[in-house]
Structure 1
């Protein structure tokens, strides 16, 4: 075995070990979600105390008391609308900035990308939303969607610009010569070419919005608008000693994203790689 193969084997072994270290907390959460209160409070990584009856009791209690069905629906609505808004606006903005090579567009590009380094200041944002009545009722949902879109927009814009740079401008010129309008050219010709990076951007949007806690806590903390992630707040507060319920809630809230990521991870890697190479 030559040095190259030995080095490759060593890196693979290290990768497996690091993967196990990362998975240990998830495994502990899952195992303790199927135990009794006494066993779960020990916070041990063991199979002791696990039973099918306890599994049904814990998860049934969480679904009922946290009203997970309505919470999942709220999260799905906010996530879908927020992701749709970001993808449509960021892709069109990136296309215009890349195609129009002017000083003004360069300044716009730098201004947007600068948003990657700036944190979200929730207090002034909440004050601003309160002035336009977007902190209560359905207005709070709209406000949350806009804040999610604004916070994710710079990164999505950034990966779109890297990908669009690899698409020849001759395609645009040919479409215009054939009489296509700007909107028809973009949505009928350019946007379908962005499929790899769009899938990557979509996954990032879904994971960011679904898993967010801060914005939901400020704007969507009422009983009717509670999102899935906020249900963990119930078991960290009123039921702070019921670790088995908290763990069960974490498993249920995380499951949609984990399943989606497992099915889409190859597209995420491919989209980021294509954007990096073409950019």
Structure 2
């Protein structure tokens, strides 16, 4: 009994220490965020001091700073552009990555294993924007509305390997007997996948969707190369362009950063429970 109680005591101490370490680690993320949020509500003079106190912050200054950013940084149009490429890229990658993962996992052949390794290899390779830009230029997809479609394709390709990786780990845990029963009942391959298999992938789909949204919405490099026209500016690019115009106005820059980050933060908080479930289930089943 003494040994058991001693081990239980050590376990509780270990858990408390890990919990304390987690709290301390969270401050590494929260302090910069609070610094940006607090200084976005201050006057120019106080914000330039980059301090965490509330001196110079007020609701009046808050509305003045944020209204100025909405007016001068073209926030609404940039949000629309970011939404278009984020939704388009996410839908494409979720659709094709889930189907590719299902086919490759179910067909246990050397060819499917080769394609699996080939796609996973994409996780380690950097995105070469210069060749991609020239390739899209040859296809006339760098100007006008075609540039938006080109950017969506690049975003889908860049997020495909990790999304595919998540789906393969999850699909391995789904019994092949479900497929056989659907085929016996006369279901076509597409009807079987979208009617039976895809609904079972909801936890990992939410996780993959959130990863795509965060990656595409927060991307800077691809949008800088392909969407640098004033009419196609994405939300993240407004911060970059605003930095050139308002280099000394930290209160406005911080306000712009908060506005750009807010949609992703809200979406993440809304679906974080599903994200954790999707990652843990995929890890166990993979």
Compute the TM-score of the two structures, normalised by the length of structure 2.
0.96
Q: Which residue of 2 aligns with 1:86?
A: 93
Residues in 1 aligned to 2:264 and 2:271: alpha-carbon distance in whole angstroms: 10
Tell me if 1:167 matches 2:209: no
Q: Which residue of 1 aligns with 2:63?
A: 56
Stretches of 4+ aligned residues off by more than 3 angstroms:
none
Distance apart, 1:235 and its partner CA: 2.0
Residues in 2 aligned to 1:193 and 1:150: alpha-carbon distance in whole angstroms: 24
Q: 1:113 aligns with which of 109, 120, 144?
A: 120
Count of residue correspondences: 279
Distance apart, 1:170 and its partner CA: 0.7
Tell me if 1:275 matches 2:279: no
Residues in 2 aligned to 1:11 and 1:158: alpha-carbon distance in whole angstroms: 29
1:189-228 aligned at under 5 Å gives the runs: 189-228=196-235
Residues in 1 aligned to 2:21 and 2:93: alpha-carbon distance in whole angstroms: 38
Residues in 2 aligned to 1:21 and 1:221: alpha-carbon distance in whole angstroms: 33
Tell me if 1:263 matches 2:270: yes
Q: Which residue of 2 aligns with 1:145?
A: 152
Q: Which residue of 2 aligns with 1:31?
A: 38
Tell me if 1:4 matches 2:21: no
Identify unmatched segments of 5+ residues in structure 1: none
Residues in 2 aligned to 1:107 and 1:17: alpha-carbon distance in whole angstroms: 44
Q: 1:76 aligns with which of 79, 83, 100?
A: 83
Compute the TM-score of the two structures, normalised by the length of structure 1.
0.99
Q: Which residue of 1 aligns with 2:139?
A: 132
Residues in 2 aligned to 1:208 and 1:199: alpha-carbon distance in whole angstroms: 14
Distance apart, 1:234 and its partner CA: 2.2
Residues in 2 aligned to 1:238 and 1:5: alpha-carbon distance in whole angstroms: 54
Residues in 2 aligned to 1:163 and 1:13: alpha-carbon distance in whole angstroms: 32
Q: Deviations over 1:161-196 (max 9, x none)?
A: 010011111111111111111110010011001001
Q: 2:27 aligns with which of 13, 20, 41?
A: 20
Q: Which residue of 2 aligns with 1:101?
A: 108
Residues in 1 aligned to 2:11 and 2:185: alpha-carbon distance in whole angstroms: 54
